[in-house]
C-alpha cells in the first residue's frame, strides 16, 4: 500500500512537473520580442538607395527567355543606380576590341555586346545607372604569349586576364579604348585609332561610370598605380561624356581591414591629378558560409556581416575626414556556399542583405547593391537573384523588392530598441533573434523594418501595429511577390529568416 501511495505521489508530482513545463513552454512560445521606438527623435537621415548589380553572362543574352524575364523583373523593380558589368569570364561579351589595331585596320566589334546593353538601358527607363566595362583588352598588357579565348562566346574561361604591366606606359592606349567605348554608347559612335568614324546611333546617358573592378585583385595592382589609371581614364571619358560622374576602386574584400590603407590613399585629393573627380568609391563583401549543416548558416552570415560593418565604419570615417563629399557604394553584397543550395539558402542571403542595408544606411553609405541578377553553375550560382532555369525572381530578389518599395533616401531613422525574451552572446554578435529599425518616410509615414536572424519563427510586439500593414518575405512566400496583411494586434509572428516592413497607421 505504501509502495502504491508512493507511486501515486510520484506520478502526481511528475504530472505536475509536466504541467508546469507545458505552461512554461507555452509562455515561452507566446513571449514576444518587444520593439520600442522613439518616434520624436531622429538619429540620422538615410542616404541609402537599395539596388543590385547585373553581370553579363550567356544567360543574359537576348532572346533568351531567362534574360527576358530577369530583365523585365529589373524594369519592374524601378531601382536607381543599377550596376551593369560586362566581365572577364566571357571575353567576347565584355571586350569590344579583342585584337590590337594593325596596318591601318581595327577590330572593334559590338555585335554580341550591344543587345545586352540595349536591353539593360531599356529596362532602366532613364533612371541613373552605373556602367562598368571592367575587363581591359589583354593585348594591352605585356604577356609571355598572346592571350587566347574560346571561339564559342558562351564558353566560360578564367584565363583571359593576364599581365600586370601595360605595353603603353603613357596610358594613351588604355584611355583611348575607354573614351571610344563610352562615345559609342553616348555620342552615336567614335573615331578609331586611324581616324575612321564608326557609327552606332546610340545616345544613352551614362550617369555613372565605375573605373575597373576589384582593383586590389585584378592584374595585381597597387593603389598608387590604380590611382594614376583612374585619373587618366576619368579625364578621357569626361572629354566625350562631360556629365558622367565616376565611381572609383570597386574594392574586393570589403571586410578586410588590411585594405584600409588603399582607401586612405585614394580618398586623399592630394594623391590625384588636379581636377580629378572623387564622386564616389565602392567596395564589395561576400559572406562565406561553411559546412554542409545549413542550420549554422544564419549565425555565420550575420557574424560575417558584422565584421564587414566594423570595417565599413572605418571607411566612412576616412571618407568623412579626407573627402567628405565623396559618396559611398557597397555595390556587391552576397553570400557563398560552394555546394548544394537548399531552399532556405535564398532566405539566409536575403535576410543578411536587408540587415546590412539598414546598418549601412545608419552609417551614411549612399548605395547598397545586391549581387547579382543571374548566376548559375560555373558562374556563381550562390549569388543569383533569379532561378537560372526560368528567370523567375527568388527570395533574394523579393527582399530587394521589399526594400525598394518601402525604404530609401530621405527616410528619417529613429532610435529603435529590441527587448528580447532570450538574450545572450555568440561570438561577436548579440543573439537577439530580431533586428529592428524604425524610420519615418519623407511623407510622414511610420515604418519598421524587421529581420528574423534565425531559421525559426518569432513573436514580435510593436505598440500601435494593430490596424497597420505588414509586408514580408519568408520561406512560404519564396519566389512569389512579398505578401501583405492587415495586422489585427500589436503582436504577430515572423517566420524563420523572414524580412518584414510594418507600416503603422
Q: Fold match between 31-43+413-503 and 48-409? A: no
Q: What is the pLDDT of residue 31?
A: 85
DSSP-derived pairing of the beta strands 434-440 and 429-430: unpaired
pLDDT, the chain, mean: 92
Q: What is the C-alpha separation between 74 and 97, in angstroms, rounded?
A: 29
**DSSP letters of 241-292?**
-TT-EEEEEEES-TT-GGGHHHHHHHT-GGGS-TT----EEEEEEEEE--SS
DSSP-derived pairing of the beta strands 446-452 and 499-503: antiparallel
Q: What is the pLDDT of residue 437?
A: 98
CB atoms within 10 A of CB 266: 25
Q: Ramachandran region of residue 55, left (φ > 0), alpha (ψ -120 to 50) or beta?
A: beta
SS3 string, 323-344, reads CCCCEEEEEEEEEECCCCCCHH
Give mean pLDDT, residues 210-226. Answer: 95
**Helix or strand or coil: residue 381?**
helix
CB atoms within 10 A of CB 225: 15
- Nearest CA among 160, 18, 174 for reference residue 86: 160
Q: Is residue 17 scored above 80 in pLDDT?
A: no
Question: For the chain, how are helix, strand and coil distributed in percent, rounded to 5?
Answer: 35, 25, 40
- CB–CB of 255/237 below 8 Å? no
Task: Look at 16 and 352; give whichever has higher pLDDT.
Answer: 352
**CATH number of this structure's domain 31-43+413-503:** 2.60.40.1180
- CB–CB of 260/315 below 8 Å? yes
User: pLDDT tens across 390-438, in order?
Assistant: 999 999 999 999 999 999 999 999 999 999 876 544 433 456 899 999 9
CA-to-CA dists, residue 408 to 72, 167, 389, 402, 443, angstroms: 22, 45, 31, 11, 12
pTM of this prediction?
A: 0.92
Give mean pLDDT, residues 457-478. Answer: 97
Q: What is the pLDDT of residue 124?
A: 97
CA-to-CA dists, residue 234 to 170, 171, 284, 383, 504, angstroms: 15, 12, 21, 30, 46
Q: Which residues contact 374 (CB under 8 A, 6 or more apart)?
A: 54, 55, 57, 59, 60, 66, 67, 70, 384, 385, 386, 388, 391
Q: Is residue 18 scored above 80 in pLDDT?
A: no
Q: What is the pLDDT of residue 430?
A: 53
Domain ranges of the chain: 31-43+413-503, 48-409
User: pLDDT tens across 100-133, in order?
Assistant: 999 999 999 999 999 999 999 999 999 999 999 9
Rounded (5°) CA angle 443-447-453: 150
Give percent of the chain above pLDDT 90. Answer: 89
Give mean pLDDT, residues 213-236. Answer: 96
Domain 48-409 top-level CATH class? alpha beta
Q: What is the pLDDT of residue 25?
A: 38
Q: Is residue 185 scored above 50 in pLDDT?
A: yes
Give mean pLDDT, residues 203-220. Answer: 96
Q: pLDDT grade, residue 378 (50/70/90)?
A: confident
Q: Is the peptide bond before 150 cis (omega within 30 degrees of 0)?
A: no
Could you say which DSSP state residue 261 is in? H
Q: What is the C-alpha separation between 84 and 52, in angstroms, rounded?
A: 9
Q: What is the C-alpha separation between 112 and 58, in angstroms, rounded?
A: 10
Amino acid at each position: 500500500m505504501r509502495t502504491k501511495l508512493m507511486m501515486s505521489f510520484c506520478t502526481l508530482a511528475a504530472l505536475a512537473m509536466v504541467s508546469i513545463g507545458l505552461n512554461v513552454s507555452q509562455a515561452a512560445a507566446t513571449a514576444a520580442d518587444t520593439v520600442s521606438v522613439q518616434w520624436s527623435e531622429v538619429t540620422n537621415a538615410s542616404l541609402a538607395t537599395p539596388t543590385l548589380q547585373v553581370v553579363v553572362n550567356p544567360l543574359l543574352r537576348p532572346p533568351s527567355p531567362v534574360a527576358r524575364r530577369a530583365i523585365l523583373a529589373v524594369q519592374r523593380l524601378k531601382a536607381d543606380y543599377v550596376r551593369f558589368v560586362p566581365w572577364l569570364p566571357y571575353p567576347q561579351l565584355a571586350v569590344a576590341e579583342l585584337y590590337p589595331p594593325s596596318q591601318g585596320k581595327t577590330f572593334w566589334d559590338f555585335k554580341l555586346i550591344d543587345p545586352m546593353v540595349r536591353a539593360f538601358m531599356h529596362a532602366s527607363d532613364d533612371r541613373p545607372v552605373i556602367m562598368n566595362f571592367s575587363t581591359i583588352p589583354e593585348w594591352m598588357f605585356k604577356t609571355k604569349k598572346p592571350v587566347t579565348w574560346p571561339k564559342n562566346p558562351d564558353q566560360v574561361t578564367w584565363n583571359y586576364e593576364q599581365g600586370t604591366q601595360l605595353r603603353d606606359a603613357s596610358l594613351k592606349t588604355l584611355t583611348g579604348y575607354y573614351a571610344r567605348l563610352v562615345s559609342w554608347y553616348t555620342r552615336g559612335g567614335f573615331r578609331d585609332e586611324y581616324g575612321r568614324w564608326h557609327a552606332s546611333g546610340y545616345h544613352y546617358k551614362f550617369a555613372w561610370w565605375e573605373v575597373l573592378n576589384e582593383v586590389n585583385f585584378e592584374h595585381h595592382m597597387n593603389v598608387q598605380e590604380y590611382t594614376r589609371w583612374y585619373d587618366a581614364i576619368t579625364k578621357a571619358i569626361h572629354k566625350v561624356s562631360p556629365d558622367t560622374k565616376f565611381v572609383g576602386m570597386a574594392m574586393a574584400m570589403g571586410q578586410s581591414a588590411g585594405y584600409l590603407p588603399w582607401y586612405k590613399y585614394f580618398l586623399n585629393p592630394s594623391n590625384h591629378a588636379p581636377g580629378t573627380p572623387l564622386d564616389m568609391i565602392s567596395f564589395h563583401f561576400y559572406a562565406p558560409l561553411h559546412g554542409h549543416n545549413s542550420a549554422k548558416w544564419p549565425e555565420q552570415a550575420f557574424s560575417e556581416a558584422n565584421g564587414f560593418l566594423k570595417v565599413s565604419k572605418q571607411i566612412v570615417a576616412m571618407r568623412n575626414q579626407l573627402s567628405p563629399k565623396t559618396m559611398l557604394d557597397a555595390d556587391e553584397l552576397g553570400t557563398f556556399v560552394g555546394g548544394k543550395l537548399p531552399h532556405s539558402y535564398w532566405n539566409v542571403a536575403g535576410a543578411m542583405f536587408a540587415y546590412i542595408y539598414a546598418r549601412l544606411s545608419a552609417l551614411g553609405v549612399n548605395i547598397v547593391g545586391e549581387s547579382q541578377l543571374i548566376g548559375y553553375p560555373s558562374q556563381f550560382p550562390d549569388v543569383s537573384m533569379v532561378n537560372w532555369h526560368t528567370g523567375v525572381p527568388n527570395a533574394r530578389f523579393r527582399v530587394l523588392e521589399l526594400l525598394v518599395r518601402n525604404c530609401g533616401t530621405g527616410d528619417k531613422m529613429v532610435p529603435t530598441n529590441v527587448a528580447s525574451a532570450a538574450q545572450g552572446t555568440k561570438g561577436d554578435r548579440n543573439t537577439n533573434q530580431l533586428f529592428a529599425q524604425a524610420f519615418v518616410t519623407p511623407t510622414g509615414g511610420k515604418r519598421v523594418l524587421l529581420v528574423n536572424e534565425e531559421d525559426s519563427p518569432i513573436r514580435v510586439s510593436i505598440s500601435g501595429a494593430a490596424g497597420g500593414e505588414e509586408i514580408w518575405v519568408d520561406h512560404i512566400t519564396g519566389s512569389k511577390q512579398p505578401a501583405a496583411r492587415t495586422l489585427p494586434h500589436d503582436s504577430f509572428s515572423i517566420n524563420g529568416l523572414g524580412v518584414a516592413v510594418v507600416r503603422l497607421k
